[in-house]
């Protein structure tokens, strides 16, 4: 055998083997991902499962086509290679109607079938249940605001309705109907374990729904570039048992209690009134101003009435509590700077006391210089400014914030 042919044979076989191995490794890596918080391939709710039911067969068909086409290309390249001898040209297929109609019609049929199932999936995802829990979602630079229509009267600021931020608490096993919009630029709402993405467009309401089969924590991330801290605009969904959800609601409906007079927290409350209440609401104490001249507009920043019921803060990029150590059999606090594991409020979620310590170091650092920890354009009322607080003011404010359960 001539040396050139031998080289081609070895080279061809090696290339084919490498491509095949990489392809199989890629498929295994993509599908073995239950531990990755933002995977789209491990559905944890009926809507994400509806998408998975469409995606998985398409992946399968695409994989078969990939193997068949690449196999044929490699085989033909080897079988009909230039042999340096007098072998005549193989018979030519140019102008062969059967083949040409075949390789036009077959892909068209496959795509048509995928289109039918895609439309069916879209229709399923748009259907809304009558007894869904209604939540209004606003994307803001760079955090998420949630308003719950608890009494089901179609308004989000009626009696008993709730406003919260960044962490969406939902009852497991119940559909949550979202009305998504934005107060500034286009964001995109995305909890991959619970459903696909939906853009938050200013001046427009987009409807979406999520549902978690089981209690758990589901991570999300803004997926539309929205400025400096787009990458720091995360979200956390906490799905809890329906009875626990009622406990959560009852606690959220409670206005904030004032700290004991003369305490460090009481001093912090006074600081909060001077420094923070222009933007942050604390129900029962620092209400949303009815008419505030811009640019100081109370309500442009997260509602802090029940801050300590959340496991994270500042667009869910910092842990407010220490997280549960992954894999630990008993509640063991993990690394509070490990943002891939969100802080665990434990019983504080329902207004009780957490089994996990408050991540005071990060909270203090945040108050010391927020733009250093999360890029913002605070001079344009986008993100929290550096207020130049003294250590005394920071101690007082943290003491006050810790009372907001
Ligand atoms: Cu909000 Cu990206």
Ligand 1 proximity of 139 Cβ (cutoff 6 Å): yes
Section 180-199 average pLDDT:
94
Supply the pLDDT for residue 5. Answer: 66
The rounded percent of the chain whose pLDDT value lies above 90 is 57
Q: Strand pairing of 312-313 and 133-140?
A: unpaired
The yes-or-no verdict on residue 390 having pLDDT over 50 is: yes
Supply the pLDDT for residue 297. Answer: 53
Ligand 1 proximity of 281 Cβ (cutoff 6 Å): no
For the record, the structure tokens of 315 come out as 């667009």
3-state secondary structure of 335: coil
Supply the pLDDT for residue 296. Answer: 45
For helices 264-275 and 391-401, give the axis angle rounded to 10 degrees.
Answer: 100
Supply the pLDDT for residue 33. Answer: 67
Supply the pLDDT for residue 182. Answer: 92
The rounded percent of the chain whose pLDDT value lies above 70 is 94
Place 168 in a pLDDT band, splitting at 50, 70 and 90: very high
Supply the pLDDT for residue 118. Answer: 96
Supply the pLDDT for residue 157. Answer: 80
Supply the pLDDT for residue 289. Answer: 60
User: Are 375 and 226 in contact, with CB atoms under 8 Å apart?
Assistant: no
3-state secondary structure of 147: strand
User: Are 400 and 271 in contact, with CB atoms under 8 Å apart?
Assistant: yes
Report the sign of the C-alpha dihedral through residues 301, 302, 308, 311, in that order: negative
Residue 231 CA, closest ligand 1 atom number: 2
CA 14/CA 368 separation, integer angstroms: 59
Section 350-369 average pLDDT:
93
- The larger pLDDT score, comparing residue 100 to residue 379, is at 100
Residue 200 CA, closest ligand 1 atom number: 1
* Mean pLDDT over each residue of the chain, to the nearest integer: 88
The yes-or-no verdict on residue 210 having pLDDT over 60 is: yes
Per DSSP, 277 falls in state: T
Per DSSP, 380 falls in state: G
Supply the pLDDT for residue 50. Answer: 95
Question: To the nearest 5 percent, what fractions of the chain are helix, strand and coil?
Answer: 40, 15, 45
Ligand 1 proximity of 125 Cβ (cutoff 6 Å): no
The yes-or-no verdict on residue 294 having pLDDT over 70 is: no
**CB within 8 A of 266, min separation 6: which ones?**
258, 259, 260, 400
- Quote the ligand 1 centre to 380 CA distance (angstroms): 17
Residue 165 burial (CB < 10 Å; 0-12/13-18/19+)?
buried
CA 90/CA 109 separation, integer angstroms: 30
Q: Phi first, then psi: what are they for 184, rounded to 5°? A: -140, -85
Instruction: Please write the tens of the pLDDT for every residue from 301-354.
Output: 899 999 999 999 999 999 999 998 878 888 888 899 888 889 999 999 998 989
The yes-or-no verdict on residue 14 having pLDDT over 70 is: yes
Residue nearest to atom 1 of ligand 1 (CA): 187
Q: Where are the alpha helices (DSSP H) in 80-162?
A: 97-126
For the record, the structure tokens of 113 come out as 């079938």
- Quote the ligand 1 centre to 234 CA distance (angstroms): 8
Which is nearest to 282 in space by CA: 155, 405, 148?
Answer: 405
Per DSSP, 139 falls in state: E
CA 344/CA 172 separation, integer angstroms: 18
| Angle formed at CA 130 by CA 169 and CA 140, multiple of 5 degrees | 40
Residue 141 CA, closest ligand 1 atom number: 1
CA 43/CA 49 separation, integer angstroms: 5
The strand ranges marked E within 301-382 are 312-313, 318-319
CA 195/CA 205 separation, integer angstroms: 18
The yes-or-no verdict on residue 293 having pLDDT over 50 is: no
- Quote the ligand 1 centre to 232 CA distance (angstroms): 8
Instruction: Please write the tens of the pLDDT for every residue from 54-106.
Output: 998 998 888 888 889 988 998 888 888 877 777 777 788 788 899 899 989 99
Ligand 1 proximity of 220 Cβ (cutoff 6 Å): no
């Amino acid at each position: 055998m001539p040396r050139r042919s031998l080289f081609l044979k070895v080279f061809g076989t090696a290339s084919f083997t490498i491509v095949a191995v990489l392809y199989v490794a890629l498929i295994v890596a993509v599908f073995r991902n239950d531990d990755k918080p933002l995977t789209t391939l491990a559905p944890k709710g009926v809507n994400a499962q509806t998408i998975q039911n469409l995606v998985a067969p398409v992946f399968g068909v695409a994989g078969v086509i990939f193997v068949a086409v690449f196999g044929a290309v490699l085989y033909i390249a080897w079988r009909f290679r230039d042999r340096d001898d007098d072998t005549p040209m193989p018979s030519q297929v140019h102008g062969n109607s059967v083949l040409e109609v075949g390789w036009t019609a077959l892909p068209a049929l496959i795509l048509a079938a995928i289109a039918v199932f895609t439309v069916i999936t879209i229709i399923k995802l748009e259907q809304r249940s009558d007894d869904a829990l209604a939540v209004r979602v606003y994307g803001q630079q760079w955090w998420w605001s949630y308003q719950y229509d608890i009494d089901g009267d179609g308004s989000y600021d009626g009696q008993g309705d709730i406003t919260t931020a960044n962490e969406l608490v939902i009852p497991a096993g119940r559909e949550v109907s979202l009305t998504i919009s934005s107060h500034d630029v286009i964001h995109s709402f995305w909890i991959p374990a619970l459903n696909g993405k939906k853009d938050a467009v200013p001046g427009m309401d987009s409807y979406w729904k999520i549902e978690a089969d089981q209690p758990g924590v589901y991570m999300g991330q803004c997926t539309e570039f929205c400025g400096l801290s787009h990458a720091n605009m995360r979200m956390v969904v906490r799905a809890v048992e329906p009875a626990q959800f009622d406990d959560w609601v009852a606690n959220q409906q409670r206005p904030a209690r004032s700290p004991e007079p003369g305490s460090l927290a009481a001093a912090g409350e006074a600081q909060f009134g001077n420094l923070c209440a222009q933007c942050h609401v604390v129900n029962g104490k620092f209400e949303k101003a009815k008419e505030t001249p811009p640019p100081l507009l109370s309500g442009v920043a997260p509602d802090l009435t029940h801050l300590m019921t959340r496991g994270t803060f500042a667009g869910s990029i910092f842990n407010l509590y220490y997280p549960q150590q992954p894999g630990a059999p008993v509640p063991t606090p993990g690394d509070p700077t490990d943002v891939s594991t969100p802080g665990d409020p434990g019983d504080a979620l329902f207004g009780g006391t957490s089994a996990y310590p408050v991540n005071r170091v990060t909270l203090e650092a945040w108050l010391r210089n927020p733009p250093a920890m999360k890029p913002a354009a605070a001079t344009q009322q986008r993100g929290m400014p550096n207020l130049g607080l003294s250590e005394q003011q920071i101690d007082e404010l943290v003491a006050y914030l810790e009372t907001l359960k």
